[in-house]
Each structure stands twice: as structure tokens, then as C-alpha cells.
A and B are shown apart, each in its own frame.
Chain A
Amino acid sequence: MKVFQLSYDVAIVGMGAAGLQAAISSSRKKAKTIVMGRSEDSALHGAEVENYFGVLRATGKELLNIGMEQARSFGAKLLQEDIIEMSSSEGAFRLLSDSGTEIEAKAVVIASGIMRKKLKIPGEKELFGKGVSYCASCDCNFYKGRPVAVIGAGSEAAVSAELMTHYASKVYWVAEEVDASENLREKALNAGAEPVSSPPKEIIGDDKVSALVLEDGSELEVNGVFIELGARSTTDMAMDLGVMPTPDGEINVDKDFSAGVEGVYACGDITGKPWQVAKAAGEGGVAGEMAAKYARGL
């Protein structure tokens, strides 16, 4: 029998305004709560806030720091790690972090925000579907025995670079400074991904990708360019819990912020616009409370 390292009532994915407010509300409802993610990845982190009730002016970073302190004060556990896998069985959810921590929970709140997907370099749009891909796990099979580049510094890129070593003849992992956990970084490098630190400048090819040009002027001869920015895409993982995201990568919710699967809730930017701290916090408050009630059988 599998023994889980950590067991919680409510596991919250995402450490921005929605996730932290959900953690505050859930732990105040006496649910054993964990919130996971990197607060610096939150869209709020780099923002100046002046449109949020009760706050004249503050940096997002200040609000996040206070939010983390508040969540802790009510008993929530904070884990500054990315989640890279989610699954469910027999009414329990299992989450795996990039450092290898396993968490079991009775309810999950998805508050991971909207990820930036596009790199916005020349050739990216023109060659999409002709060698440019945003989904290594979808398209790996088409690159058997061919050289590819994986662009991105976070856990998504690390997982993809490792995956592609099983298919491609050569994998360049293009990242100025790797941001993924040591565990994932080692896995990708040990599997044979070659690190490249110069930023990407342009993707070239006529009808098919033929090379990736770097800022330092060098060219990588590749047939595939996988753009995998940021953390592991939560909408992708949510599908393993039975949640069906919209084509825009958003998660539809009902008035209780249930994502359509028993025990799974979503809040914040991932449920759609407006991407405002007021909406994120408001939704997080309801989602956290509903998840806590569900987990505690209230």
C-alpha cells in the first residue's frame, strides 16, 4: 500500500491572491490546509495595487507577503514548490511536487492563474504546427530521431526536455537561468538534454522549422521547437482529475466555484476575466470555504 507523506483536508494549487485567500478561508473553517506554488510566479507579484478595497496603494509583493503570513497564522501550511502531477482515486486526490513531495487531500482548489504561453519571437506564429509546438506530451511522437529545442526555464520545460530525450535525436534545453527544482533539472540533464543559456531570438524555416537562432548569433539546427514557459500547466493536469478546461485554458465553475468534479474547485484568473485582485480574492474566499466544508463533510 502506498504511504503518502502528507495528508490534508484541502490542497490549494497556486500561491497568488486567489490561492492565499482560499487558504485563509479554508483554514478558518478548521480544515487542515496546504497551499502550494511559488508566490513570485503570481501575476500579482510584480504589480502595483491601487484598485483593491481597503488598500490605498501597495505592491503586489507586500500583499502576497501579508497574505502568506495570514494563511500561516490560521494554521495553513505553505509549500513553495510547483505541482507537476495530479490524480484521483477513491475520493482522494494525490498531488506530486517538483521536489518529489507527495500530498494527499480530500479536496483540491485550483488557483494557479493563467500562464503566459507565447514567446513572441519571429517565426513562432508562422511556424506553429509546422515544427513549433506548445505541448511536448502531445507532439513528442512526431519528432522521433530528429533534433529539437525546448524553450523555458521552469518545471514545464524541465519535464518536456526530459520527455523529448526519449524521442528526439538531440534535445537542446534553452533557458537563460533554470528555475525548475534541482530534482527536475537533474532528471532532464541526466537524460541527455543539452543546456543552452543564450535566449532565443528567431525560429526559421520555410514550410517547416529548420533552425532556432539565438541572441548570441549561434544557430541550433532543429526540426522542432517546443515552447514550454513557466510552471507545469495546471489546466493540463486538471484534466487528469476529470476537469474539462475551455479551449482558452480556463476552468468553468458554478456559483460554489466547483469545477464540475466532486471535490475540485477553481478560483482566480483561471476562471476567466477580469484578471483583478478583487475578483481573485473574492473567488478564493468562497472556493476555500466550500472546499473546507466538502472535505469536512459539513
Chain B
Amino acid sequence: MPKTIMTVDDSASVRQMVAYTLKEAGYGVVEACDGVDALSKIDSESFSLIITDLNMPKMDGITLIKELRVKPKIKFTPILMLTTESQNEKKMEGKTAGATGWIVKPFKPEQLVAVVKKVIG
């Protein structure tokens, strides 16, 4: 069974790009358009990894990570955040909230796969 990854991003194109790349790499993908959507879908499946953007309407990425980390099911699931170079302090904030690592935007498909592989194999 392929590992399933949830990608959370308010930008449909980024989301689709992530989803497409990961599917090509052999992963299953579930998409969510913001933190609230992600939380509503999180119980539907068991995810090997969650990739979330940080700047999102309704619920931002940091809040989402904090919300996820209190769920026993997600407590030890890797969470990657999508950040930009200018957001170094965000990286630290995200790590404190419980993120496993980050992917710096912009990224190329092979870079995304490399980071995902690094985290969940």
C-alpha cells in the first residue's frame, strides 16, 4: 500500500503541483485547501506525512501544526512546512510548534521528492 500524504495549501496550483509530483513518485495524496479543511479530513485516513503551507486564510499553518500535534494519531507523524527564504523565524516557530522540517519555496519537483524521501522514505 502506498504511503499517503496530505498536502495543505490555499493555492490550488501549488497543491496540484505537489500532488502531481508526489503521485508520480508513488505516494497517495489527499489535498486540503486550508487548516480547517485539513483538520476535517485528517481522520479519514492515516497519513504518513503532512505538508502544509504557512500562510493560509482561515487557519494558518503554525496553528494547524499545533492542532495536529495534540491529536494522538498525528502526534508522531512528520509534518513539513512550506516556507520562503525570508521566513527564517517562521521555520523556528514551526519547529517549536512541532514541525519536522521545511521545504523552501520555490522548489522543483525533484527537490520536493528528495525532502519527502528524507522524511518518510
A and B are partners in one complex rather than unrelated chains: no
Enumerate chain B interface residues (CB-CB to A < 8 A).
Answer: none
Enumerate chain A interface residues (CB-CB to B < 8 A).
Answer: none
